[in-house]
Amino acid sequence: MSGKRVQKNHLNHFQTEKTRRLNAKQDLSLKGSIDEPIVDLISALNSCGAYYTTSSCSGRITVMADNSGCHLKKSVSKWLFISHDVVDSDEVMSAIRSGGDRPLYASFKVEPFVLHVCADGLSAAKRLLEVAIGCGFRNSGLTISKSDRIIVAVRSCHSLEVPIICDKELIVTEDYVKYITEELAATTPFSAKQLKEWYAEFIQECPNGQMDKQTFMQNFGEHFFPADGNTIKLAEYVFKRFDANQDGAISFTEFINAVSIPSKGNIDEKLDWCFSIYDIDEDGFITTEEMGNVIKAIFRRRGLRLDIDSKVQEIFNRMDVNKDGVLSKEEFIRGFKTDPQILSALVAEQCSTTATTDQTVRNNNNERHSLASK
């Protein structure tokens, strides 16, 4: 049999199996269906000729119970609670208390996003694997099934499992449950619904998935900052901070990562973020000139017409503890923490610049929708 015929037969077999799987409309995960947060992703993958998905999970937080004595073996366990979004401790404790008798064993589990995709050949599998690893799913890999199918497993290493009930006794306090749920909320500051809405707006602005400097300036430089040379510079500094890999464009992931810190981060994270904007040449130190550039932009954005140069020098001198003429990150953060006047004057303004960028996108979209309807 010729090589071309073998290749054609293989392609026909792959497409036949793909059609059969997709027509069955069944996911091979325990739930048996596709989680709502990743429906669009699954549809996009299945629209590609070289792939079809076999099982998936968007990531979940669960309380798993077991009365068999098998210590939470999946086949005999049941869910007391499950969520594909951020949860609070009251929801978890309510699930533990409900349902009469406590189970013999139970655990609080955080399971990450996982996806299994059948690929039409090794080259297609390698392409998808490279994308998965590039997106941060570094535990991904390739497997060969018993039926010789090539499966790409997209996985991360982020998971958590905490026993909470043993021999029908609650072995952790409610405060502990509250602590771990709050810690989880801190690492996932935006809900799946928020991310989906923001992504739709981002793609509407940037159909290719990349926001270049011109688009950023049109949305934030002209609308959010007054038409002033120094305040436009502030928008440029913010753009540079958003563009984490410095490729000249902001991806949606970079956008969310940048917004999440000033919106949801703690004071140390916010100050670390601010330092990166002031440190324009990225040498790990801030000079009076660098501080002056940013402070001038901030003050003029707020309409303040002060003696800016003397104000910059005053602030700088307060923060420069060792008097070496530059500010280290430690001096910068310590200065803001110990001087409420500096903190209120600069950090609040700096963070509000970023925290409201999503609202600017929304406002711009509303303006276009209003014009389109007239």
Name the most confidently modeled range: 29-43, 210-224, 359-373. Answer: 29-43
Length of the chain: 374
The contacts found for 6-14 with CB under 8 angstroms, 24 or more apart, are 10/121, 11/120, 14/118, 14/120
Q: What is the dihedral of CA 261, 267, 268, 274, to 10 degrees?
A: 60
Check: CB of residue 282 under 8 Å from CB of residue 271.
Answer: no
**Does residue 140 contact residue 132 with C-beta atoms inside 8 Å?**
yes
Task: Give the helix/strand (H/E) hosting 93.
Answer: helix 89-97
Q: Residue 266: what are its φ and ψ, rounded to 5°? A: -80, 175
The contacts of residue 208 (CB under 8 Å, 6+ apart) are: none
Mean pLDDT over 253-272 rounds to 74
Closest by Cα among 344, 285, 351 to 316:
285
Query: Contact at 8 Å (CB) between 118 and 70?
Result: no
DSSP letter at 154? Answer: E
CB 138 within 8 A of CB 157: yes
To the nearest 10°, the Cα dihedral for 71, 77, 81, 87?
50
How does residue 356 score in pLDDT terms, banded at 50, 70 and 90? very low
- Residues of the chain with pLDDT > 70, as a percent, come to 72
Which CATH superfamily groups domain 192-373? EF-hand (1.10.238.10)
**Paired residues of 109 in beta bridges:** 62, 161
Query: What is the pLDDT, as a whole number, of residue 297?
Result: 67
Please report the pLDDT score of residue 143 as a whole number. Answer: 92
3-state helix, strand, coil in the chain (%, to 5): 55, 15, 30
DSSP string, 40-67: HHHHHHHTSTTEEEEEEE--EEEEEEE-
Q: Which residue has the higher pLDDT, 364 or 158?
A: 158
Amino acid at 167: D
More confident residue, 332 or 117: 117
Q: What is the pLDDT of residue 3?
A: 47
Query: Would the pLDDT of 203 be above 60?
Result: yes
Q: Which residues pair with 57 in a beta bridge?
A: 114
The pLDDT score that the predictor gives to residue 370 is 45
From 267, 271, 242, select the one nearest 329 (Cα to Cα).
271
Burial class (CB in 10 A: 0-12, 13-18, 19+), 67: middle
d(C-alpha 138, C-alpha 152), whole Å: 12
Residues 124-131, mean pLDDT to the nearest whole number = 91
Q: Cα separation of 270 and 262, whole Å?
A: 5
Average pLDDT, integer, range 104-129: 91
- Residue 273 predicted with pLDDT over 50: yes
Residue range 12-45, pLDDT digits in tens? 788 888 988 888 766 666 666 788 888 888 988 9
Measured in whole angstroms, how far is the alpha carbon of residue 335 from the centre of its chain? Answer: 30
pLDDT for 186 equals 65
Which of 234, 220, 223, 219 shows the shortest CA–CA distance to 297? 234
Which whole number is the average pLDDT over 127-139? 84
Helix (H/G/I), strand (E/B), else coil: 310: helix
What pLDDT shows up at residue 354? 47
Domain locations in the chain as residue ranges: 3-187, 192-373
Per DSSP, the residues of 5-20 read: HHHHHHHHHHHHHHHH
Superfamily of the domain at 3-187:
tRNA wybutosine-synthesizing-like (3.30.1960.10)
pLDDT of residue 36: 83
